[in-house]
Amino acid sequence: MNPSASGWIKKLLNQVSETMYSQTETDVFYNNLKHVGFIYGSNIKVVLNIVKPFDLSEEERCKTNLLLTYYFIYNKEETKTNEEFTESLIRYYKSISDQKRSFFEDLFSDKSPDGLLEKIIHKRIHIDDNFISKSFNYFLINALLFVDVLGYQRFLKDETDIKDYVKNLESALETIVFSVIENKSEKSEYDENLIKLFEGSIRHKNAKLLTYSDAIAIINEPLEKLYVIDLVCMASWTDKIIDREEQNFLNQLKTDLNVDNTVIVRSVNDINLFYDEHKEDVAFLSSKNLAQSFYDNSSKVVSKLITRNSKRLIKELSESKEAMTLLAQSTTRNLTDEEQKKIQTQLLDIFKSIPSLAIFMLPGGMLLLPLFVKFIPKLLPSAFDDNRITEDKKKLD
């Protein structure tokens, strides 16, 4: 199952239908969403290990977790066919979209419900849908996706005013979370990064924030309460220290939401445990500078694209002797500027024939071509070893 290729939703739902996950209690499933990082905006694993995430990127794990969460909520309301689930989710997204009706028809012109939903989910998870901007940005994945899940849960019960519900819930979370961060006497790099993450994740930019009391009045459902508490604990976390002001805020929140103290304690422990276990994997905890972050993110993307398209690449490259020769030589010496331009031109011609490599044709995609040239010989060693032997033999002849 490859969430970056078409047909992944149908394949995933076929796998899920054979499991017993829909019988899991809601609070248990929610806690699992925390443990895999979905609630915190950092998808380290796939929920309940339904899919083995060995070769999935964080983006792909996020897509998988989002769909599995929707499917869990759907089955908790009423068991239906996979086709009806897909169609209900599409209808939900259309109902909460700020775009005109033609938005889905023009941008997502796919007659297949599964294909349309795949494109909607891909569009939804990104804070910035520009490929190069995402690579430069620390925050690749939307941190407030669970708001959409809560909206879908409401949608299945009552479709009226669903857009207002989602907008008001997001506004309430914005007020409460920003209240925690703004009240800190000193803001760390973590706090600044978290502010950027939440600001980037918010769809409905409000000229004026809700008051705290108005925000609290919106939070009523059990999952809403758990979610807001987890976001507050996430906002309070700085080197596992919750100061007096933050503790007072949590105590007030506990009273205002009418939840047991064990909920607060568990939420604090959960965020501490998650960050302890995955500090190196959570983007906004990283101490890497922007350039290093760009290089690492881009390298992962390019490596995965080459690996997944290796057979097609070998076939296309084998038909371009000059490209093969230059790529082989690039492993032993630096190519001249003229050779770099020549190989980039030939690679772009090859990318046109491989749909999943079309990102290199987008504005800024040329920036990643040097990485592509660097990684091809490493990820396709046999093809290029053979080529180098051939070239050596030619020289001897």
Residue 54: per-residue pLDDT = 59
281, pLDDT greater than 60: yes
In this structure, the number of other CB atoms found within 10 A of the CB of residue 211 comes to: 11
Residue 267: per-residue pLDDT = 92
Residue 134: per-residue pLDDT = 44
**pTM check: above 0.75:** no
In a domain? residue 236: yes
- Same domain for 361 and 232: no
In a domain? residue 3: no
Residue 83: per-residue pLDDT = 67
Token pair for 97: 């979209």
In a domain? residue 372: yes
Q: In angstroms, rounded to a whole number, what is the distance separating the alpha carbons of residues 87 and 369? A: 39
- Same domain for 239 and 305: no
203, pLDDT greater than 70: no
Residue 22 confidence class, pLDDT cut points 50, 70, 90: low
Q: In angstroms, rounded to a whole number, what is the distance separating the alpha carbons of residues 294 and 255? A: 43
Q: In angstroms, rounded to a whole number, what is the distance separating the alpha carbons of residues 356 and 169? A: 36
Query: What would the mean pLDDT of 260-276 be, rounded to a whole number?
Result: 90
270, pLDDT greater than 80: yes
86 and 94 in contact (C-beta within 8 Å)? Answer: no
Domain boundary among 285, 301, 318: 285
Token pair for 257: 């939401």
In this structure, the number of other CB atoms found within 10 A of the CB of residue 291 comes to: 9
pLDDT in tens, 124-178: 876 544 444 444 343 445 778 899 999 999 999 888 999 999 989 988 998 888 8
243, pLDDT greater than 60: yes
Residue 380: per-residue pLDDT = 56
Find the range with the poorest average confidence among 62-71, 84-93, 196-205: 196-205
- Same domain for 302 and 219: no
The torsion angle over the Cα atoms of residues 333, 335, 339 and 341, rounded to 10 degrees, is 150
Q: Give long-range contacts, CB 8 A cutoff, 24+ apart: 308-316.
A: 308/2, 308/4, 308/356, 309/354, 309/356, 309/357, 310/379, 310/380, 312/354, 313/350, 313/354, 313/376, 313/380, 314/380, 314/383, 316/350, 316/353, 316/354
In a domain? residue 1: no
- Same domain for 303 and 278: no
Q: Which of 206, 117, 124 is nearest to 168 (CA)?
A: 206
- Same domain for 91 and 61: yes
Residue 205: per-residue pLDDT = 61
Residue 321: per-residue pLDDT = 77
369-379 and 321-329 helices cross at what angle (nearest 10)? 90
Residue 340: per-residue pLDDT = 77
390, pLDDT greater than 90: no
Residue 138: per-residue pLDDT = 37
pLDDT in tens, 368-387: 666 677 767 665 545 454 44
Three-state DSSP state, 278: helix
pLDDT in tens, 298-325: 566 677 777 777 778 778 777 777 877 8
| Total count of domains within the chain | 2
At 117, which helix (H) or strand (E)?
helix 113-125
Q: What is the mean pLDDT of the chain?
A: 75
Residue 341: per-residue pLDDT = 79
Residue 289 confidence class, pLDDT cut points 50, 70, 90: very low
Residue 35 confidence class, pLDDT cut points 50, 70, 90: very high
Residue 186: per-residue pLDDT = 73
Q: Is the dihedral of CA 66, 142, 354, 104 positive or negative?
A: positive
Three-state DSSP state, 99: coil
Domain boundary among 285, 312, 340: 285
- Same domain for 294 and 361: yes
Residue 153: per-residue pLDDT = 93
In a domain? residue 350: yes
Q: How far is CA 111 from CA 26, 71, 114, in A?
A: 33, 21, 9
Residue 161: per-residue pLDDT = 92
- Same domain for 275 and 296: no
The torsion angle over the Cα atoms of residues 289, 293, 294 and 297, rounded to 10 degrees, is 180
Q: In angstroms, rounded to a whole number, what is the distance separating the alpha carbons of residues 310 and 307? A: 5
- Same domain for 225 and 338: no
In a domain? residue 93: yes
317 and 383 in contact (C-beta within 8 Å)? Answer: yes
Query: What would the mean pLDDT of 236-255 be, rounded to a whole number?
Result: 79
41 and 141 in contact (C-beta within 8 Å)? Answer: yes
Its domain, for residue 203, covers: 8-285
In a domain? residue 111: yes
- Same domain for 196 and 65: yes
pLDDT in tens, 92-120: 998 888 654 444 454 445 568 888 898 88
In a domain? residue 170: yes
Q: In angstroms, rounded to a whole number, what is the distance separating the alpha carbons of residues 189 and 175? A: 21
Find the range with the poorest average confidence among 32-41, 50-59, 77-86, 100-109: 100-109
Residue 246: per-residue pLDDT = 79
Q: Give long-range contacts, CB 8 A cutoff, 24+ apart: 239-242.
A: 239/188, 239/190, 240/272, 240/275, 240/276, 242/268
Residue 60: per-residue pLDDT = 85
- Same domain for 254 and 130: yes
- Same domain for 247 and 316: no
Residue 319: per-residue pLDDT = 78
57 and 63 in contact (C-beta within 8 Å)? Answer: no
- Same domain for 238 and 145: yes
Residue 392: per-residue pLDDT = 42
What's the 3-state SS for 168-180? HHHHHHHHHHHHH
Q: In angstroms, rounded to a whole number, what is the distance separating the alpha carbons of residues 283 and 153? A: 29
Residue 146: per-residue pLDDT = 93
359, pLDDT greater than 90: no
In this structure, the number of other CB atoms found within 10 A of the CB of residue 389 comes to: 11
Domain boundary among 285, 316, 339: 285
